Amino acid sequence: MFSTVFSRLKGLSGLGLGAPLAVLMMMAMLVLPLPAVLLDLLFTFNIALSLLILLVVIYTLRPLDFAVFPTVLLVATLLRLSLNVASARVVLLQGHTGPDAAGRVIEAFGEFVIGGNYTVGIVVFIILVVINFVVVTKGAGRVSEVSARFTLDAMPGKQMAIDADLNAGLINQDEARHRRSEVTREADFYGSMDGASKFVRGDAIAGILILFINILGGLMVGVIQHNLAFSEAMHNYTLLTIGDGLVAQIPSLLLSVASAIIVTRVSSSTEDIGQQFSTQFFTDPKPLALSGAVVGLLGLIPGMPNLAFLTLASSLGAAAYLIAQRQKQHAAAEAERAVPKPTVPEVKELGWDDVQPVDLIGLEVGYRLIPLVDKNQGGQLMQRIKGVRKKLSQDLGFLVPSVHIRDNLDLTPNAYRITLLGVTVGEAEVLPERLMAINPGRVFGSLKGVEGKDPAFGLDAIWIEPDQRDHAQTLGYTVVDPGTVLATHLSHLLQTHAHQLFGHEEAQQLLETLARSAPKLAEDLVPKTLPLSVVVKVLQNLLQEHVPLRDIRTIAETLAEFGARTQDPAILTAVVRASLGRLIVQKINGIEKEVPVMTLDPDLEQLLQKILQASGQDAAGIEPGLADQIHKALEEKTQKQEMEGRPAILLVSSQIRPWLARFVKHTIAGLNVLAYNEIPEDKQVKVVATIGQRA
């Protein structure tokens, strides 16, 4: 029979009907009369439920492990108030028959607990209400309010810490998602507890009001309706009311204590409250020994309860002695384990695991720059590096690899080093306590500080104190913090060496992305038309010439068209550049219809073509004097174009463009070398200068 009932109740719970039925039953108790036997059962259940909730709270490791507690608190409060209404109805209707009118539980609390003396009962009830309302409930409510405020204020910081750990590779996406869920649940829990504490506070107030209402109502019913003597009516109804109040206040006090415990405890993933209490009280023997000594001195004073004091002092002293002995044994065992035992070193055969691969991108910092990286010390560098990677990935058209950051004691304290594929490509020093004021070329005064250079672009700069920021900006300086200096340097180097970061894996990812939108094109390109290695070399050439790979569809279509004719990466790069001419020109000149260009004298251009055809694009046949004259003329015209606020573009034939681009790449900053077929048809070319002097 019991198994059948339990299975049916379990079925109702599985349908989600358990909680609604319980609430409806409590609402029914407010209007339907209950017999005394059922009241006894429900009062006993209420006490057991409150005790169960208190014990669950005590044995819970973290508040979030009992996240349903605010709702349970509300339901338990409603149950208790419903029982108060039901018992008040029985007391007023049947109280004239005697102290057992409302059941054995209320009678027991009225007769046995307070000895049948309603004056003592009122005093005990008031004391319980004061303890519950003034001490426990008020304190728990305040702690809930403060915890909710602090938890909500800390949410953005916790979310940023999770993002930083995710970006640094310390956690994966699933762990980050789990931590974000925990932060949200924690905020919801403490917010709910802030409101739920008001239920307990209101319940304590309701208990006081119900007590006096029941006493006055009972006296009126007993004296006026049932013609009882005032003393008899006072005795019956007051004992019943006090018993009813005590039956309700004890569970209320238990729930208040549970609320206070759950909001004041410190979360632990391994210890409940009892274990934390034992660990923190009985770890150090000195407090116990001193307490025992003070209690023992009090026990020696004449007139004091010597036996009780001395017994307690002896217990505290014995506990302190046992703890001290246990600590000594533990220390001896630790020391014994710490002594190195002679062991024969195992000769391990070397394997490929001992060969560590180099980092694609590495950042090494001196020890004084660690706070820039450490999020616990307010460092924002990791977040900025994430932004640099995101921006470069969008601009270049492929995912820039993660930056592996580590400290290096071999560096000077303020230095950092940037490596690509294990090779150092940049190194500089920053002053973490100062700001860098960069001279953009025109300033209106001087600053006091440590002179230096902008590591990214080599501009003159001064390291200034933070309080000089506003003054430096008014003088025309660009002021940045050390983290921005480092992030900008990293961004510049990654842009410059983007072709070294692009390999077969990145090319395969690009082709897989293309296959989702143009599967036939991706299938025909690799490996039907071209091998992957040729495609990789062409894409690397484009990146080396600062052409982004965002338009991978156009690149793939061009390679698929011309790949059947040649597999020479240089020729394929040239035809791809022609297909991307609109993108290349717009990147240099914007959306202007007119493109100002410099050209070579036709005779000079023909001469260079003949020399390069004969020497195979290595320029070995060009006279040094001629090369020097070309370089000087190009440098002069480029500076003139920049002074006039126009881009410097050298327009030449496609045969000599690759060599000229390499010729000026590292010596004439800002000069763009384009081929004739790279200019879109809708653009108008305006020749602003001609380079034509021959040696």
Give the span between the Cα atoms of 33 and 662, in whole angstroms: 98
Same domain, 493 and 398: yes
Residue 338 lies in a domain: no
- Whether the pLDDT of residue 164 is over 70: the answer is no
Task: List Cβ neighbours of 347 (8 Å cut-off, separation of 6 or more).
Answer: none
Residue 55: what pLDDT?
82
Q: Look up tokens 């198994």; give the residue.
A: 3
Question: Among 465, 500, 535, where does a domain finish?
Answer: 500
User: pLDDT band at 233, cuts 50/70/90?
Assistant: confident
Q: Mean pLDDT over residues 363-388, rounded?
A: 86
Same domain, 377 and 231: no
Q: Mean pLDDT over residues 363-383, rounded?
A: 86
List the one residue out of 551, 573, 693 whose CA is nearest residue 629.
693
Residue 224: what pLDDT?
75
Residue 112: what pLDDT?
55
Q: What percent of the chain has pLDDT over 70?
A: 78
- Whether the pLDDT of residue 108 is over 50: the answer is yes
Give the span between the Cα atoms of 506 and 522, in whole angstroms: 15
Give the span between the Cα atoms of 520 and 340, in whole angstroms: 66
- Whether the pLDDT of residue 15 is over 50: the answer is no
Look up residue 321 and give its two tokens: 């002695």
Q: Mean pLDDT over residues 502-512, rounded?
A: 91
- Whether the pLDDT of residue 16 is over 50: the answer is no
CATH number, domain containing residue 532: 1.10.8.540
Name beta bridge partners: 675: 652
Choice between 483 and 201, residue whose per-residue pLDDT is larger: 483
Residue 3: what pLDDT?
47
Residue 76: what pLDDT?
80
Choice between 355 and 628, residue whose per-residue pLDDT is larger: 628
List the one residue out of 447, 449, 444, 411 whose CA is nearest residue 433.
449
First vs last C-alpha separation in the chain:
113
Relative to beta strand 478-480, strand 671-675 is unpaired
Residue 8: what pLDDT?
47
Residue 28 lies in a domain: no
Give me the chain's average pLDDT, please: 79
Look up residue 439 and give its two tokens: 């001279």
Choice between 358 and 372, residue whose per-residue pLDDT is larger: 372
Same domain, 396 and 479: yes
Same domain, 573 and 604: no
Q: Mean pLDDT over residues 335-362, rounded?
A: 69
Same domain, 396 and 480: yes
Question: Among 446, 468, 500, where does a domain finish?
Answer: 500
Q: Let me know the angle formed at the C-alpha of 668 by 422 and 637, rounded to the nearest 5 degrees.
A: 170
Residue 9 lies in a domain: no
Choice between 111 and 657, residue whose per-residue pLDDT is larger: 657
- Whether the pLDDT of residue 683 is over 60: the answer is yes
Let me know: does 675 contact 654? Beta carbons within 8 Å. Answer: yes
DSSP 238-283: HHHHHHHHHHHHHHHHHHHHHHHHHHHSPP-SS--HHHHHHHHHSS
Residue 1 lies in a domain: no
- Please give the DSSP secondary-structure letter assigned to residue 375: G
Out of 316-320, 421-425, 612-616, 682-686, which region has the weakest mean confidence (pLDDT)? 612-616
- Whether the pLDDT of residue 617 is over 90: the answer is no
Residue 632 lies in a domain: yes
- Whether the pLDDT of residue 620 is over 70: the answer is no
Q: Mean pLDDT over residues 440-458, rounded?
A: 87
Residue 178: what pLDDT?
80
Look up residue 353 and give its two tokens: 């695991």
Residue 169: what pLDDT?
62
Question: Among 326, 348, 379, where does a domain finish?
Answer: 326
CB atoms under 10 Å from CB of 100, counted, come to 15
- Whether the pLDDT of residue 280 is over 70: the answer is no
Amino acid at position 463, single letter: W
Choice between 594 and 273, residue whose per-residue pLDDT is larger: 594
Give the span between the Cα atoms of 607 and 613, in whole angstroms: 10
Residue 77 lies in a domain: yes
Let me know: does 575 contact 547? Beta carbons within 8 Å. Answer: no
Phi, psi for 161 (deg, rounded to 5): -65, -40
Look up residue 251 and give its two tokens: 């569970």
Domain enclosing residue 399, as ranges: 361-500
Look up residue 286 and give its two tokens: 């000195």
Same domain, 143 and 71: yes
Same domain, 646 and 520: no
Residue 379 lies in a domain: yes
Give the span between the Cα atoms of 108 and 99, in whole angstroms: 9
Task: List Cβ neighbours of 432 (8 Å cut-off, separation of 6 or more).
Answer: 368, 369, 371, 372, 414, 482
User: pLDDT band at 507, cuts 50/70/90?
Assistant: very high
- Whether the pLDDT of residue 95 is over 70: the answer is no
Domains identified in the chain, total number: 5
Residue 52: what pLDDT?
86
Give the span between the Cα atoms of 525 and 505, in whole angstroms: 16
- Whether the pLDDT of residue 35 is over 70: the answer is yes
Look up residue 670 and give its two tokens: 């800002």
Let me know: does 564 contact 525? Beta carbons within 8 Å. Answer: no
Same domain, 112 and 250: yes
Choice between 344 and 295, residue whose per-residue pLDDT is larger: 295
User: pLDDT band at 2, cuts 50/70/90?
Assistant: very low
Give the CA distances from residue 184 to residues 158, 167, 272, 327, in Å, rounded to whole numbers and listed in that order: 10, 20, 23, 42
Same domain, 407 and 527: no
Same domain, 494 and 521: no
User: pLDDT band at 322, cuts 50/70/90?
Assistant: confident
Instruction: Give the pLDDT confidence of 209-232 residue by residue, as tens digits.
Output: 777 777 777 777 777 777 777 777
The alpha carbon of 398 is separated from its chain's Cα centroid by a whole number of angstroms, namely 26
Same domain, 448 and 366: yes
Let me know: does 638 contact 671? Beta carbons within 8 Å. Answer: yes
DSSP 505-522: HHHHHHHHHHHHH-HHHH
- Whether the pLDDT of residue 244 is over 60: the answer is yes
Q: What percent of the chain has pLDDT over 90?
A: 23
Same domain, 232 and 252: yes
Residue 394 lies in a domain: yes
DSSP run (H or E) holding 118: helix 118-130
CA dihedral 236, 239, 240, 241 (to 10 degrees): 120
Residue 659: what pLDDT?
86
User: pLDDT band at 5, cuts 50/70/90?
Assistant: very low
User: pLDDT band at 19, cuts 50/70/90?
Assistant: low
- Whether the pLDDT of residue 430 is over 50: the answer is yes
Out of 254-268, 357-371, 435-449, which region has the weakest mean confidence (pLDDT)? 254-268
User: pLDDT band at 10, cuts 50/70/90?
Assistant: very low
Residue 341: what pLDDT?
57
- Whether the pLDDT of residue 467 is over 80: the answer is yes
